[in-house]
Amino acid sequence: TQQSTNAESRIDPPEAKTPLRQATPSFQSPFYIN
């Protein structure tokens, strides 16, 4: 289970931040994307 989470986070890093971006796209969007 740990390996799966690590591989997914490494392959799809933007997906993990998707919820954070949606919460505050005005503040997190530019900060996280950059």
Give me the average pLDDT of each 10-residue run along the chain (34 residues). 54 56 52 50
Question: Taken in order 19, 20, 21, 26, is the CA torsion positive or negative?
Answer: positive
**Residue 12 domain boundaries:** 2-33
- 8 Å CB contact between 7 and 16: no
Distance CA(25)–CA(11), nearest Å, equals 22
At 24 the pLDDT is 52
Q: How far is CA 12 from the centre of its chain?
A: 8
- 8 Å CB contact between 21 and 29: yes
Distance CA(10)–CA(23), nearest Å, equals 22
